[in-house]
Amino acid sequence: MNRKGMTLLECLISLGLISFVVVAAFQFFVLAGGIFSKLREIQNNSQAMLASLDKIKADVRRAGLGLAELITTHIEPDFLSASGTFLEIHLIDRTFRVAEDAPVGAERLKLDKPTSGIRPGREIMLGNGSTSEILTVSSADTELINLAQPLNFSYKAASTSALLLEKITYFLDIPGNTLRREVNDGSAQPLLENVRTAEFDYDPGENKFTVRLVTGSKGELSDGFSLFPKNMALASPK
pLDDT tens, 125-155?
998 888 889 999 999 988 899 999 999 999 9
Which pLDDT value is given to residue 237?
A: 42
Cβ atoms of 160 and 135 within 8 Å: the answer is no
Q: State whether the Cα torsion 208-213-219-221 is positive or negative.
A: negative
Region 3-23: mean pLDDT is 75
Could you tell me the pTM of the whole model?
0.77
C-alpha–C-alpha distance, residues 159 and 101, integer Å: 10
91 in Cβ contact with 79 (< 8 Å)? yes
